[in-house]
A and B are shown apart, each in its own frame.
Chain A
């Protein structure tokens, strides 16, 4: 269980998160949604140990602030919105950076499997910096997957934190990446993902946390949370939620002005 209680984060004098409660369960995909500047990335960065925060965050019963970086790295991996790369590594070399057990006896090279998983087989020998933005993002996902390849290790669930994992991808690869996250959760791992696409959220998430202006408006299952008035209020535009015959919901922008 990932449990963040009463999280407050300030940049200088400006409060960007105020008293946020957030929970995510292993075996589930928990989405964080909300308008730009609502504090989504700040909340994620607090939970990945990148930001000082007030409040208490526990991961699998351990207080996050007491876990050193190397222990945290064995239990969770993080995909940022954008990952710069300083030197001309090949795709395979980038992915091997995620294999933090690399070099230890018996550690298999996961590179081919990870590349196949993100649909980039045959890319191992290419220079990372020569790939398109979407391809780079999928290589980073492959690297991140290698870090927590087994969703459950030593009886403990591992976690994937994804910050807008599909923002630079075409629709087919959006579905592919969301399916990878879904499979990780279905295998017992925990997934926390910041998403902008409410339709993908409805299709793939088990729980959705809606942030606006640094506060948590609500966290609930997508069927419960995705409501016309709540979304319209949070995003400041008229939104209508309609349920298709088969499964999930469609969220469509509505033309009428507020």
Chain B
């Protein structure tokens, strides 16, 4: 037994003899919080227009009036974009982690399994057919109409996927992935139909939205989508213990006292709210939901109590940094951020697949 224990140290030096990674996870949280601060600073400081963030902050702290141009660029353009990027990145990463916990499979990504496509259909429906709503309802929802419809679309998609892929508490990976492809194809067809009947103004809105970009961030859009994303981000950690137990299967989770049905319902709602609102405001941004949880599981283990918090921090940081890159490489123009995340995320996803090749679960 001694020799086997010694051998283990050689195999997994990062885990340690006690197999307890809670401290490592907490340290990682602090490091990620620092990274997020740095990314936020970069997001405010970098851009096509030359503005001194330091000077503006100095003015603010000294109680002086900030120069008007700086105020417009920082307050009206970059700050809503910063907040949107943070919330979208955190939402996509946390939604990925929750979806993977729910399906008990690390390949469940909102983009891959059709959840984002469902959200997209909801958003397109709101843009194209929103005018048909009775004026009262339209006025009530205002700018929240698109996020709310995207939420409904992604909720339908997750629910449908769960019904298709899960039998008696067991998820078939193949059915989940193929079901996701089918869902994405069907929602894509409906979205295409809606785009076909859209008028010119709607087409402009759709194109802008479909690029997958934070460029359209305004205070009104940010504030309209924020409640859904914040609610999902705050609710997600409450699922952590249940998702941990669910890793042992539904029966074992029930034996451990987890109200499995309620857990699943809540997890689906969290994923739908996070993906729906994120998609509504920023279009399709891929790979955040699979890459971030995967990296964190490698670094600090699969315990959802740490994973869901750290995924939020890392997702927010990565998206802000990707946004800075997308604004910098072809300045003063900018790349859609979806291209940047795909360029980083695609190879990482390949690497995940190669690593898992031959393992039992795949």
Chain A residues at the B interface, C-beta cutoff of 8 Å: 45, 48-50, 68-74, 76-78, 80, 83-94, 97-98, 100, 121-127, 130, 147
Contact = CB atoms under 8 A, between A and B. Distances in A.
A46 B303 CA distance: 30
Contact of B256 (A87, A90, A100): A100
Nearest to B307: A87
A154 to B, nearest CB: 16
Given A88-B297, A88-B301, A125 B249 contact: no
B328 interface: no
Contacts of B105: 86
A97 B244 contact: yes
A69 B2 contact: no
A88 B105 CA distance: 11
Contacts of A76: 255
A87 B361 CA distance: 10
A219 B247 CA distance: 36
Given A87-B297, A97-B244, A126 B19 contact: yes
Contacts of B101: 86
Contact of A92 (B20, B297, B302): B20
B9 interface: yes
Contact of A83 (B8, B249, B259, B361): B249
A83 B252 contact: yes
Nearest to B3: A122
Nearest to A122: B5
Nearest to B17: A125
B248 A125 contact: no
A44 to B, nearest CB: 11
B interface, size bucket: 35 or more
B247 A87 contact: yes
Ordered nearest first, which 10 A-B pairs have the shortest CB separation?
Answer: A73-B257, A92-B19, A87-B302, A122-B5, A90-B19, A86-B104, A125-B19, A70-B257, A124-B19, A78-B255
Contacts of B20: 90, 92-93, 124
A84 B8 contact: no
Given A90-B15, A90-B21, A125 B244 contact: no
B301 A89 contact: yes
5 contacts: A69-B259, A92-B20, A122-B1, A125-B16, A130-B11
Nearest to A74: B257
A70 B253 CA distance: 10
Contact of A125 (B8, B246, B256): B8
A76 B259 CA distance: 16
Interface string B249-268: 10110111111100000000
Contacts of A71: 257
Nearest to B249: A84
B132 interface: no
Given A124-B19, A125-B12, A126-B8, A97 B251 contact: no
Contacts of B255: 48, 50, 73, 76-78, 147
Contact of A84 (B15, B248, B256, B258): B248
